[in-house]
Amino acid sequence: VDTTLPSPDWRLIWQDEFDGSEIDSAKWSHAVDCDGGGNQEQQCYTENAENSFVSEGMLNIVAMPNTDESLSKDYTSARLSSKMKGDWTYGRFEIRAKLPAGQGSFPAAWMMPTDDTYGGWPHSGEIDIVESVNLKVAAEASSPESHVYGTLHYGDSWPDNRESGAPYLLPNDAN
Q: Pick from 94, 88, 95, 92: which is nearest to 1 by CA?
A: 92
Q: Which of 41, 56, 69, 126 is catalytic?
A: 126
Q: Which of 50, 94, 131, 145 is catalytic?
A: 131
Please, which contacts does 37-43 make with residues 24 or more away whose CB atoms are closer than 8 Å? 37/79, 38/121, 39/106, 41/73, 41/106, 42/73, 42/74, 42/75, 42/104, 43/73, 43/74, 43/75, 43/76, 43/77
Catalytic site includes residue 131: yes
The alpha carbon dihedral of 145, 147, 150, 155 has a sign of negative
* Residues with a known catalytic role: 126, 131
